[in-house]
Amino acid sequence: MNSLVVGCLIYSSVLQLLSTFSSNEVWTDIEREACVQVLSPKNSELLSLIIGFASAMLKQAWYNTRLAL
């Protein structure tokens, strides 16, 4: 799979996760289980990848915003 596609999938997943955290919606069992699976110590490499990618995207968005001002 193309790395850009994988990156977009991870980024959209992180955004969905963050929007779920910030909203007052009740989580479904599937969402809760998926979150537990991603945050489990067994998946520390995946979690590091997601956090690193999200951090890079946020930094890029901040930089682009600064350029636009």
pLDDT band at 1 (very low <50, low <70, confident <90, very high): very low
Closest C-alpha to 50, from 6, 14, 12: 14
Residue with tokens 């991870």: 10
- How large is the average pLDDT for residues 54-67? 77
What pTM was estimated for this model as a whole? 0.41
pLDDT tens profile 12-57: 777 676 666 655 555 566 666 766 666 666 767 776 777 777 777 7
CA 14 to chain centre: 2
Closest C-alpha to 11, from 68, 69, 58, 62: 58
Residue 6 has pLDDT above 70, yes or no: no
Which residues have C-beta within 8 Å of that of residue 11, sequence separation ≥ 6? Answer: 53, 54, 57
